[in-house]
Amino acid sequence: MDKINIFFRNDCFGLASTWCRVPNRMTSEENASNTRSDRANQALTQTFPVVTVHGEGCRSRTVRPPSTYRTILHSRDLLESGQFSNGCDGGECAANRVKELNSRCKFLTWEVGFFRTNLFLNICGCSDLISIASIVVAKFLIVPLTSLTFTRSETRKSPHQLGDTKMSAKAIREATGKNLINKHLSGETAAVQCRFASVDPDTKFAELVANNPWLKTEKLVVKPDQLIKRRGKLGLIAVNKNLDEVQKWISERMNKDQEIGAATGKLRNFIIEPFVPHKENEEVYVCIYSHRHADTILFYHQGGVDVGDVDAKAVKLDVPIGETVDEATIANKLLGQVTAASKKAMITKFVHNLYKLYVDLYFTYLEINPLVVTEKEIYVLDLAAKLDATADFICKPMWGEIDYPPPFGRDAYPEEAYIADLDSKSGASLKLTILNKSGRIWTMVAGGGASVIYSDTICDLGGAQELANYGEYSGAPSEQQTYEYAKTILSLMTQEKHPQGKVLITGGGIANFTNVAATFRGIITALVEFQERLIEHKISIFVRRAGPNYQEGLRRMREVGQTLGIPLYVFGPETHMTAICGMALGTRPIPQENNVEFATANFLLPSGEKQPNKQSLGQKGGADSASAISCTRKIQGGDSAGVQTPMFTNKTKSIVWGMQTRAVQSMLDFDFVCSRSEPSVVAIIYPFTGDHKQKYYWGHKEILIPVYKKMNDAMTKHPEADVLVNFASLRSAYQSTVETMEFPQIRTIAIIAEGIPENQTRKLIKLANEKNVSIIGPATVGGVKPGCFKIGNTGGMMDNILHSKLYRPGSVAYVSRSGGMSNELNNIVSKSTDGVYEGVAIGGDRYPGTTFMDHIMRYQADENVKMIILLGEVGGVEEYEVCNALKNKIITKPLVAWCIGTCAGMFTSEVQFGHAGSCANSNQETATAKNEALKAAGAHVPNSFDYLGDVVQEVYISLVSQGAIVPAAEVPPPTVPMDYSWARELGLIRKPASFMTSICDERGQELIYAGMPISDVLQKNVGIGGVISLLWFQRCLPSYVCKFFEMCLMVTADHGPAVSGAHNTIVCARAGKDLVSSLVSGLLTIGDRFGGALDGAAKQFSEAYDTGMHPAEFVNHMRNKGQLIMGIGHRVKSINNPDQRVKIVKEFVMQNFPATPLLLYALEVEKLTTSKKPNLILNVDGVIACSFVDMLRNCGSFTSEEAQEYINIGAINSLFVLGRSIGFIGHYMDQKRLKQGLYRHPWDDISYVLPEQYNN
Task: List active site positions.
Answer: 915
Query: Using CA atoms, how far apart are residues 996 and 990, in angstroms rounded to an integer?
Result: 15
Please tell me the distance from the alpha carbon of residue 155 to that of residue 158, in angstroms, as a whole number: 9
Q: What are the two backbone dihedrals, phi and then psi, of residue 927, each rounded to the nearest 5 degrees?
A: -65, -35
Residue 794 CA to residue 776 CA, distance in Å, equals 13
Neighbours of 275 (CB within 10 A): 16
3 bridge partner residues: 124, 153
Element (H, E) at 7: strand 2-8
* Close Cβ partners of 51 (under 8 Å, ≥ 6 residues apart): 44, 45, 62, 63, 65, 110, 112
Rounded-to-integer distance, Cα 228 and Cα 230, Å: 7
Check the CA dihedral 152-157-158-160 and report its sign: negative
Closest CA to 1042 of 1026, 1027, 1053, 1030: 1026
Question: Which residues are CB-neighbours of 427 under 8 A, at least 6 positions away?
Answer: 475, 476
∠290-295-299 over CA atoms, to 5°?
105
Cα-trace Rg, the chain:
39
**Cis preceding linkage at 370, omega within 30:** yes
DSSP string for residues in 752-812: --S---HHHHHHHHHHHHHHT-EEE-SS---EEETTTEE-TTTT-SHHHHHHTTTTS--SE
DSSP secondary structure letters along 619-639: --SSHHHHHH-B--PPPPTT-
User: Which of 686, 642, 635, 901 has the alpha carbon at shortest distance from 789?
Assistant: 635
Report the distance separating Cα 1008 and Cα 1002, nearest Å: 6
**CB 558, CB 550: distance < 8 Å:** no
Nearby residues of 513 by Cβ (< 8 Å), 6 or more positions away: 476, 547, 548, 662, 663, 666, 781, 793, 796
Residue 112's closest CA among 51, 63, 70, 170?
A: 51
Pairwise CA distance, residues 94 & 99, whole Å = 10
Q: 3-class DSSP state for residue 566?
A: coil
User: If phi over 0 gives left and psi between -120 and 50 gives alpha, with beta otherwise, what is residue 1182?
Assistant: alpha
Torsion of CA 841, 844, 845, 846, to 10 degrees: 100
Q: Give every CB contact of residue 54 below 8 A, 6+ residues apart in sequence.
A: 20, 60, 111, 112, 113
> Cβ–Cβ contacts within 10 Å for residue 13, how many?
22
Instruction: With residue 472 as reference, give the H or E element that holds it.
Output: strand 469-474
Residue type, 212: N
Of 745, 740, 668, residue with least CA distance to 710:
740
**CA 348 to CA 552: how far, in whole Å?**
65
All residues at 6 or more sequence positions from 91 whose CB lies less than 8 Å from its CB, including other chains? 78, 79, 80, 81, 82
Q: How far apart are CA 129 and CA 255, in angstroms?
A: 33
3-state secondary structure 661-715: HHHHHHHHHHHHHCCCCCCCEEEEECCCCCCEEEEEEECCEEEEEEEECCHHHHH
Q: Spell out where 507-609 has E strands.
A: 539-544, 568-571
**Rounded distance, CA 1176 to CA 200, Å?**
79
